Structure 1
Amino acid sequence: MSVSTSRLFQFIAPLMVWICLSAQAEPQASSKELSQQNKPTTGISNQRQLLQQARIAIKYGNKKQLKQLKAKLANYPLVPYLDYWAIGKKLRQLPLKDIDRFLAENQGTAVGDWMRIRLLRELGQQRQFQTYLKYFQPEKHKRAALRCYYADALFRHGSKDNADQVTTELWLVGHSQVEECDPVFARWKRNGGLTQEKIWSRHLLALEEDNLELASYIARKMDKPFQQRAALLREVHKSPKLLLNYPRFLQSPEHHREIILHGLHRLAREDAAVAEQAWQRYSASLLFNDKEQANMLRHLARQFARQDDTQGLLQLTKNHTMDDGYSIEWLARQSLRELDWEQVAFWIDRLPLERQQRDRWLYWKARSLEELYGKAQSGAASLLYRKAARERSYYGFLAADTLGQNYSFVDRPAPITPIQVQQMAQHTGLQRARELQAIGELFHARREWSYATREMDHEELLAAGKVASAWGWYHKSIQSVLAADYLDDLELRFPLAFADIVESVSEQVGRQSTPLEPYMIYAVARQESHFSHDAKSRSGALGLMQLLPSTARATAKRAGVRYRRSWDLLSPKTNIALGSFYLSTLLNRFDNNRFLAAAAYNAGPTRVAKWLKETRQRLPHDVWIETIPYSETRNYVQNVLAYTVIYAYRSGTKLQLLKAHEAGNKL
């Protein structure tokens, strides 16, 4: 492929994405009237094609054709992007007159702010620092590269004190800064701004981020006395048990104070019991302040928990007043794992009051009372169960099952009128976001939506959520109701997204493999991605049901689903099919137990098999779930189970949280 052909491909790639997106099945809208009104017509499709032609005209500098196309696109929402792309093509020439006009016309918009950022980058690279100060906005621009240019501009054409302050903030980080900062730091050092104390502080910050390479580099800038302290700090960082040589560090304890604190935190990660003893020894000689003491005790408690050292954590809580809810909850779970109901109640009573009132601990307090006292405390237990059962949640549903009462769904549509929704649908920013989504410019689409909704009030966010749902942009509808803190509109929070695909795949899986209810498919997709078809995790999982390409490839062979490359996982149809078939294989492996399959979907089947082996079929189902070692998996399983019930309700079906074989067997 030639260079020119490669560049053309990059330029028209969004058109290819648009074609792929347009070929996907249209999701159902939550408001038929709004959906019909805003359904893409032949006219809007024609405008999208004209837009792509205009982009190619910009690419090849065909001004006459661009002018003609812009005239045809006069009322199209993405017209500002044509100016954005056209100016961007000649940005190195700094056409400030055109840029000023563009910024004035698009003030406060995503495209306007992004143009300003691109201009600042160009001005910084060309070292046009006086002009840079005209366009830089200190309260908005937080990118390190832009702030380094800003510090340079301030030193040359503004306040040197302000330049020093900005540079100090940029310096005091635990990671390497961008190369744009190098000239600023060099001048700052020549002018005496870089003190030994600041070098020491960054050296410590680097070690707190476990960045030994940077710490070693920073230490070379120190004077000899500081270098010796820094070398000792790095030794302790690598071998924290050096702190057990108490005479060495207590000869001049104040001089070694930061080294001791850093080393104790590192030592606790290796051996919390040893670190706790060392802490007692050092705290007897050094007057650590209240914040340092609280931080160390909290850190020790969590390390005891992570190292499964129940006795160590118990002793720590006995010797010190602990307000760390995390550690107390861990002790309660350990007691659950041992089926020690007296200790379960004991630790729940020591949780902060706010945590005691959560549905989770209301349920477990009631369970402990029943296990300890039976009918003698049935009234108190029932009261706690009733409180928990008011919640639309995993533990709310468990409590309701215990009481034999109906679930509390609390389904209240957002109090928004059709007129408000119609008006919001015409919001310029949302229209731009929708069109950018349609042509495959997903990054710009998300940015436009975020800009448009960032200062909306409660009612506006709910109206935006309704619009997003009607447009089939389900993850934005979910985000909007969460931002509005309105959690009772189940149509928006739990949309029946991609319903045709889900129903079809559920039937197909049932014919080929272990039956899989559509409600569980919805629940997993809702938990995994909020129905964002282009979601990508740090681990490389892709799409609605967050599949790794390796898992997708292996599943496709068994399921007979066409799969060629990871890009295919961005297709809702392919992703839901592969994710559902994989989920059905997990159900088959774990005897059609949905919560074990959900745990395996999140943490992997090998880990789940290991956990089952450790518990030796002695734990009730609710205890097993509550004591899953990974908090992420524990919450994942509970959410998937609760969401499955909610999706059944949304589909007009009544479903129990747990089936008889799931609730009846011990694990």
Structure 2
Amino acid sequence: MLFFSNPNFAKPDIASLTEQQRLFLEAYDAINKKDRALIADYKKRLSGYVLAPYLSFFDFYKNIDSTPNSAIEQFVIQNKDNHLSGRLKYYWLNHLGRSQQWRSFLAHYNSEDFTAQNLKCYATLAELNTQPKPESSDKAKALWQTGKPLSRACQPLENYLIKNKLLTGSMVWENINMAMGRDEITYATKLSKHLSQNERNIFQAWLKIHKDPSQLTQPLPSEYPGQVRQNIFIQGIKKLSKKDPKLAQKLVTQDAKRYGLNQAEELSLMRIISLRLARNYQPDAKSLLDQVNETDSSESTLRWQLQLALRHSDWASVLEVYEKLEDDEKTTEKWQYWLARALDNTQEPKKAQQIYKNLATKRNFYGFLAADKLKQDYQFNPSPSKKIDVNELIQKYSQLPRIKELLAIDWLLNANREWYHLLQTAKNDELEAISYLATDWQQHNIAIRGLAMAENWNNIELRFPTPHKTPVLQAAKQHAVDPAWIYGVMRRESAFATDIRSPVGATGLMQLMPNTARFIGQKIGVKPQTYKNLTNAESNIELGSAYLSYLNEKFQGNRILATAAYNAGPNRVEDWIPDDQQLPADQWIDSIPFNETRRYVKAVLEYTIIFQSLLNQKYDRLENYLLPIGQLQSAKSDSSTLVKN
């Protein structure tokens, strides 16, 4: 979401605002009403106020068609150190492109400053309409041939290519191929209108195979153009591998030569199929992964070969595949831990112990696991707190006074834009000081981001704050959930940003999906307002904690399974539980099919231990949660497993 695209800013307590803050909000209302005389009066009265640039920005943006270019150019120059400058210039360039002011566009556009596709299209159109170059037509072709629907800015390029007879059949087919690979069926169908009637019939046959790729069991007609036949086959196999990887494997083996696939193309398809088999824990996955890795291994296929070995406690294979990893991958804490576990299980305990000792000095998931193996205390390695000169910092960085005012008037989205611009432009050795100030202003997600950018991992005080402590402790008690676990989930989900919303709709501190919130809210009997207001910290914490409790009970007290289910949904987690064995929990975690869920579970467990040490000055050992997984741990299914967070 663009930072100014939502006019419904949170409404602050007017009584708590200063005179300038009230005037500023009144001025913003005048801008929305397009009362130019009143706007001019407010600008005069607020001259010198730190948020004054926002008035000009919104005024120019909302009236960009009638604002003189000279006024915008002056604003951009005068506010060059303000993120609003780049924002306004971006919208101004779009305006210049839409209104076909090509010479003005070229005078102010710099491809190094703006990488947006629509501006690239306008730049090419500007060249073609003012000073065509030999390479201008090639630029137009490249911008058209992306496999993505054309934006309004880029559509004229297609018209140019057609008009000048530069749109060839092979270009159309290649664009269709890219569109089909992206599942952009509507756009691919639109592109097919540029084909002959016979070619459109071939495309219609492709659509049928895309819908049901098992039709590839019947050979494609030999009269189809060779490259098109190959594309249909390759795209169909990729689609089929999701539904029936065994059939996909059979067809590649059987028909690769028929469709002219070279060794690299055949291997690429086999790699995709092997990963699909592995993610579904299919018995044939190991042999195919072995075959692929023997010919041309990749990071993903090697990782999955190792994960399958872990799934089956095949320690000899772990050691064998480990040696094929890149050197930098071998030294990661993850694979060092599994090297130690493999050595421990192949009669080389002394070597394993030395690796465990090195890992046990670390404050992370694998460090805690290693410390458990050695029966040692966990090492948290905190850095000491520092004092900062707030006034000096505010004077040095112009973003900070603006942020302070934006927070006061509850313009959080704009405040976040200022924070991000500040973190990108500040000196690296001052990011920690900025993070302290962000913490003082209750902007914990910004502090966490700043420390990460500075690669300062040992400032536990700032990286693991405990805001909203009263509602967290109340919810923990009410729903019988460890408060440190709640904090661990919150830290991973939102880094304590209350108003954050994911692209799929997960909202607030514990990133609850609306359906999940409604389900758990109705289950625990709260008022609808509670589960409809997910950006409210107390509501989000209550519902998220109740959902953790529900999942914990559903998975019979297994916190690892409950944590995985919070991320991936209970149905998936049930599918991942082995029904023919009991698997050590650390092996199960690192063989979870989803990369995101695998990382998520390890992070939440690690954070939970850290929050326990902060809240209680003591901690549970990670090994206490590592209950074997399989058979008896499978939860009973019910209709509620349709709810996915």
Partner residue in 1 for 2:423: 453
**For residues 78 and 11 of structure 2, what CA distance do their matches in structure 1 show?**
28
Alignment partner of 1:402 out of 373, 376, 387: 373
TM-score normalised by length of structure 1: 0.83
Q: CA deviation at 1:648?
A: 2.3
For 1:550, the aligned partner's letter is: N
SS in structure 1 at match of 2:284: helix
Does the Cα contact within 8 Å between 2:508 and 2:535 map onto a contact in 1?
Answer: yes
1:513 alignment counterpart: 479
Partners of 1:502 and 1:522 within 8 A in 2:
no
Amino acid aligned to 2:479: S
* 2: CA distance, partners of 1:324 / 1:594: 33
Q: Which ranges in structure 1 are unaligned for 5 or more consecutive residues?
A: 1-9, 24-40
Does 1:625 pair with 2:589? yes
Q: Which deviations, in whole Å up to 9, do the C-alpha atoms of 1:298-318 show, x marking residues without a partner?
A: 323313323433334414524
One-letter code aligned to 1:408: Q
Q: Is residue 352 of structure 2 the alignment partner of residue 366 of structure 1?
A: no
Scaled by the length of structure 2, what TM-score is found?
0.85
Question: Once the 2 structures are TM-superposed, how far is the Cα of residue 389 of structure 1 from its aligned partner?
Answer: 2.0
- Give the Å deviation of 1:225: 7.5
Instruction: Say which SS state the counterpart of residue 641 (structure 1) adopts.
Output: helix
Superposed CA deviations along residues 44-99 of structure 1, whole A, max 9, x for unmatched, are 64332221122233345666655554455344321101112233343222322322
1:251-650 correspondence runs (5 A): 256-280=229-253, 292=265, 295-318=268-291, 320-373=294-347, 377-412=348-383, 418-419=388-389, 422-423=392-393, 426-496=396-466, 498=467, 501-510=468-477, 512-514=478-480, 516-557=481-522, 559=524, 561=526, 563-564=528-529, 568-609=533-574, 611-612=576-577, 614-615=578-579, 618-650=582-614
For 1:205, the aligned partner's letter is: M
State the 1:482 CA deviation: 1.9
* Aligned equivalents of 1:281, 1:625: Cα separation in 2: 36
* Compared CA separation, residues 290 and 76, structure 1 to 2 (3 A): farther
1:223 Cα offset (Å): 4.6
Q: Which has the higher contact order (CA 8 A, sep 6+)?
A: 1
Counterparts of 1:154 and 1:517, CA distance in 2: 63
Check the 8 A contact 1:411/1:490 in 2, yes or no: yes
Identical residues among aligned pairs (%): 28
Distance 1:176 1:635, change over 3 A: same
CA spacing shift, 1:482–1:291, aligned 2, 3 Å? farther
Tell me: CA distance 1:323–1:422, structure 2 relative to 1, closer, same or farther (3 Å).
farther
Letter in 1 for 2:353: S
| Map of 1:13 onto structure 2 | 8
Query: Within 2, Cα distance between the matches of 1:435 and 1:257?
Result: 60
Letter in 1 for 2:311: R
Aligned residue for 1:35? none
Listed one character per residue, the Cα deviations across residues 189-220 of structure 1 (whole Å, up to 9, x for unaligned) are 10123222322221111111122332232122
With over 3 angstroms needed to count, the CA separation of the structure-2 counterparts of 1:561 and 1:226, relative to structure 1, is closer
The residue correspondences of 1:22-421 to structure 2 (distance < 5 A) are: 45-60=18-33, 66=39, 69-70=42-43, 72-161=45-134, 163-223=136-196, 230=203, 234=207, 237-238=210-211, 240=213, 256-280=229-253, 292=265, 295-318=268-291, 320-373=294-347, 377-412=348-383, 418-419=388-389
Q: Aligned to 1:91, what secondary structure does the other structure show?
A: coil
Task: Give, in whole Å, the separation in 2 of the partners of 1:253 and 1:57.
Answer: 63
Secondary structure in 2 matching 1:544: coil
| Residues 48 and 356 (structure 1), Cα distance of their counterparts in 2 relative to 1, 3 Å cut | same
Q: How many Å separate the matches in 2 of 1:633 and 1:464?
A: 31
Give the Cα–Cα distance (whole angstroms) in 2 for the partners of residues 290 and 482 of structure 1. Answer: 43
8 A contact 2:436–2:447 mirrored in 1: yes
The answer (yes or no) to whether the contact 2:560–2:625 under 8 Å persists in 1 is no
- One-letter code aligned to 2:416: R
Q: What is the aligned residue count? A: 626
SS in 2 for 1:132: helix
- What is the alpha-carbon distance in structure 1 between the residues aligned to residue 111 and residue 191 of structure 2? 28
| Paired residues of 2:382 and 2:458 also in contact (CA < 8 A) | yes
| 1:404 Cα offset (Å) | 0.8
CA distance in 2, matches of 1:61, 1:325: 57
Structure 1 residues 565 and 188: alpha-carbon distance in aligned structure 2, compared to 1, 3 A threshold: farther
- Corresponding letter in the other structure for 2:378: Y
On the 8 A contact 2:471/2:538 being kept in 1, the answer is: no
Distance 1:446 1:557, change over 3 A: same
What is the rounded CA distance, in whole Å, between the counterparts of 1:559 and 1:235 in structure 2?
Answer: 47
Structure 2 Cα separation of the partners of residues 51 and 143 of structure 1 = 32
When you count helix as a share of all residues, which structure comes out higher? Answer: 1
Give the SS at the match of 1:55. Answer: helix
**How much has 1:463 moved relative to structure 2?**
3.3
Cα deviations across residues 260-280 of structure 1 (Å, max 9, x unaligned)?
Answer: 444443444444444444444
| Contact 1:336–1:623 under 8 Å retained in 2 | yes
Separation in 1 of the partners of 2:26 and 2:250?
Answer: 72
SS of the counterpart of 2:497? Answer: coil
Preserved contact between residue 144 and residue 177 of structure 1 (Cα < 8 Å): no
Shift of 1:401: 0.9
Measure the CA separation in 2 of the matches of 1:231 and 1:412: 64
Match among 604, 607, 619 for residue 655 of structure 1: 619
Q: Distance in 2 between matches of 1:441 and 1:169?
A: 40
Give, in whole Å, the separation in 2 of the partners of 1:179 and 1:63: 30
Contact 2:510-2:540 at 8 Å conserved across structures? yes
Name the SS of the counterpart of 2:103 in structure 1.
helix
SS at match of 1:201: helix
Q: Distance in 2 between matches of 1:362 and 1:458?
A: 31
CA contact (8 A) 1:528 1:546 kept: yes
Cα 1:465–1:246 shift into 2, 3 Å: same
CA distance in 1, matches of 2:224, 2:46: 78
CA distance in 2, matches of 1:536, 1:507: 25
Q: Shift in Å at residue 627 of structure 1? A: 3.4
Letter in 2 for 1:513: H
| Paired residue secondary structure (1:454) | helix
